[in-house]
Amino acid sequence: MGAAPIHNVADARKRARKVLPRVVYDYVDGGAEDEVTVAENEQAFRELAFRPRMAVAMGEPDLATTVLGTSVSLPVLLAPAGLIRLLHPDGAAGAGRAANGRGTIWVLSTVAGVSLEAVADAGGHRWFQLYAPGGRDDAAATMDRAEAAGYEALVVTVDTPALGNRERDVRNGIAPPLRLDARTAVTLGPQVLARPRWALRMMRDGVSMLGRPKTRRSGPAGGAPTPAHADRDSGFGAAGTVSMLASPFTWEDIAWMRTRWTRPLVVKGVLSAGDARLAVDAGADAVIVSNHGGRQLDGAPATARVLPEVVDAVGAHAEVLVDGGVRRGGDVIKALALGARAVLVGRPYLYGLAAAGQRGVEEILDALRAEMVRDMRLLGCPSLAALDASWVERR
C-alpha cells in the first residue's frame, strides 16, 4: 500500500521532517540567523486579505498563462535548489519530470548536486540558475553548457555575494560553507542512523555521506584552496562531499552575460525598485523578487511587501516573478493580484520530494492547483487575467 497522498504544503513539511535526518531537514527548512525573514515571507501573505465578489456566474477558472513566452498550466514554477539530491534519489530529475508532467517550468541550480547535462533529459521547459564563483570564465563555460543542453532561460542569482549565516547548519556542524563529508559524518552519524530508510535509499543511490573527503583543487588565481571552487560544477564532489559557495556578480557582469546569452535572461534576488531597474537596464527579460527564502540576509524585506514597488518600476518592460513564503494556492493568487506574472516555490516542493520523490512534487503542485481553483471560485474571479490589486487589501 502506498503512502497517503499529501494534502497541502504543511503536510509535506511534517512528512519531510519524519523521513530526513535532522541535518538535512534543517538545511531545507532553515534560514539565516533568527529566521525573521523566513517568517516574514509567510506573514506578508497572511496580512493580505482577499476582497471577494459574490454571486458571480463563472465556470472552471483557467490557471494557464505564459511566462517569458512559454505556456504553463499553472503560474507556479519550481525554484532552483542546491544539494537537492540529498532529499531523495529522484533529485532534480524527479522534480523536473514532475514539473513537466504538470505543465510548468523547473529551474536547475548550479549546485543541485548533479551535472546539468545529466538531468536535461528529464525534459520539459527547464531554466538554469547560474552561480559562478570562478568569475566570468567560469560563467562563460557554464552558460555554454547550459545552452548546449537545451536550458531555455538563464537565471542569475544576485543575492549570494557571501553565504548567509544559517545557524541551524552551523549548529549541526556543516557550515560555513555547507559541507557534508567524512569528517562531518562522524558527528552526524547518529542522526543518519535514526533515519535508516533515508540512509538506505541514499546508499543505493551512491550518495554515501560516509565517503572519502574530496581532494581540494587550488582556488581562483592560485589563491587558497576553497571547497567552493572544487565543487562548483554540481555542489557534489567525491562521494559524500557536498558544499555550497558564494558567487558575487555585479550589474556589469549581468550586462556582459546579456551579450553572450541569446535566450531569456532572468535576474533572481531583487528586493527594490532601484535594483529592478538596474537589472532591466542590464538586459534582464524578467526579475524574480526574492530574498532566497530568507536564507541569505536576515532582516531583508518580505517579498510580498516589495513586490508592488518592483512591479510599478519595471512591470511595463519586464516580467516580474516572486518567491518566498508561498504555501497555499491563495498566496499564489495574492502574488498575481499584486502584479506578479507567476511565483516560484522552493521549500514546498522540496518537502514533497523528501516525502515521496517525484510523486511528492506532483502532489504539491496538484494541491496548490486545487487550492487556487477553489479560491478563484470563492473569490468570484473568473481568470488570472482578471486579477489585480482590487482583489486584495493589506490588513
Nearer to ligand FMN, 61 or 324 (CB): 324
Which of 88, 125, 229, 292 is catalytic? The answer is 292
Q: Is 326 in the site for ligand FMN (CB under 6 A)?
A: yes
Q: Rounded to the nearest whole angstrom, what is the least distance from the CB of residue 46 to ligand FMN in the complex?
A: 13
Long-range contacts (CB closer than 8 Å, 24 or more residues apart) made by 5-11: 5/363, 6/352, 6/355, 6/356, 6/360, 6/363, 6/364, 6/367, 7/367, 8/328, 8/367, 8/371, 9/327, 9/328, 9/347, 9/348, 9/351, 9/364, 9/367, 9/368, 10/327
Cβ burial of 53 (10 Å; 0-12, 13-18, 19+) is exposed
Nearer to ligand FMN, 297 or 386 (CB): 297
The one-character DSSP state at 4 is: P
| Cα separation, 63 vs 76, whole angstroms | 10
The reply on whether position 178 binds ligand FMN by CB under 6 A is no
Tell the smallest beta-carbon distance from residue 370 to ligand FMN (Å).
18
Taking CB under 6 A as the binding criterion, the range among 9-17, 144-152, 208-216, 342-350 that sits at the site for ligand FMN is: 342-350
Cα–Cα distance list, 353 to 88, 116, 172, 329 (Å): 6, 19, 22, 18
325 binds ligand FMN (CB under 6 A): yes
Q: Based on CB atoms, which residue is closest to ligand FMN, 27 or 261?
A: 27
Question: Catalytic annotation on 292?
Answer: yes
Pairing of strands 286-289, 65-67: unpaired
Among 346, 352, 357, 360, binds ligand FMN (CB under 6 A): 346
If the CB atoms of residues 26 and 381 are measured against ligand FMN, the closer one turns out to be 26
What span, in angstroms and rounded, lies between the C-alpha atoms of 205 and 188?
19
Residues 100-119 that bind ligand FMN (CB under 6 A): 109, 111
Closer residue to ligand FMN (CB): 290 or 381 = 290
- For the purposes of burial, counting CB atoms within 10 Å of the CB of 291, is it exposed (0-12), middle (13-18) or buried (19 or more)? buried
Choose which of 19, 20, 28, 72 interacts with ligand FMN (CB under 6 A).
28
Per the CB < 8 A criterion, the answer to whether 31 and 38 are in contact is: yes
Report helix, strand or coil for 267. strand
Q: Which residues of 138-151 are buried (b: 16+ CB within 10 A; e: fewer)?
A: bbeebbebbbebeb
Helices (H), 83-180: 91-101, 116-119, 136-148, 167-171
- Binds ligand FMN by CB under 6 A, chosen from 75, 211, 308, 324: 324
Identified binder of ligand FMN from the candidate list 61, 75, 80, 339, rule CB under 6 A: 80
Q: In this chain, which of 37, 142, 157, 226 binds ligand FMN, going by CB under 6 A?
A: 157
The yes or no reply on residue 301 touching ligand FMN (CB under 6 A) is no
Distance CA 180, CA 213 (A): 9
Of the candidates 68, 122, 342, 350, which one interacts with ligand FMN according to CB under 6 A? 350
Output 181 or 331, the one with its CB closest to ligand FMN.
331
Query: Least distance to ligand FMN from the beta carbon of 116, Å?
Result: 13
Closest CB to ligand FMN among 79 and 313?
A: 79
CA dihedral sign of residues 234, 238, 239, 244: negative
At 342, give phi and psi (nearest 5°): -165, 170
Q: How far is the CB of 247 from ligand FMN (least distance, A)?
A: 9
Per CB under 6 A, the list member of 13, 20, 63, 129 interacting with ligand FMN is 129
User: How far apart are the two ends of the chain, measured CA to CA in Å?
Assistant: 45
One character per residue 255-284, x = contact with ligand FMN (rule: CB under 6 A): -------------x----------------
Q: Which residues are identified as catalytic?
A: 292
The residues that touch ligand FMN, with contacts defined as CB under 6 A, are 27-28, 41, 79-82, 109, 111, 129, 157, 268, 290, 292-293, 295, 323-326, 345-348, 350
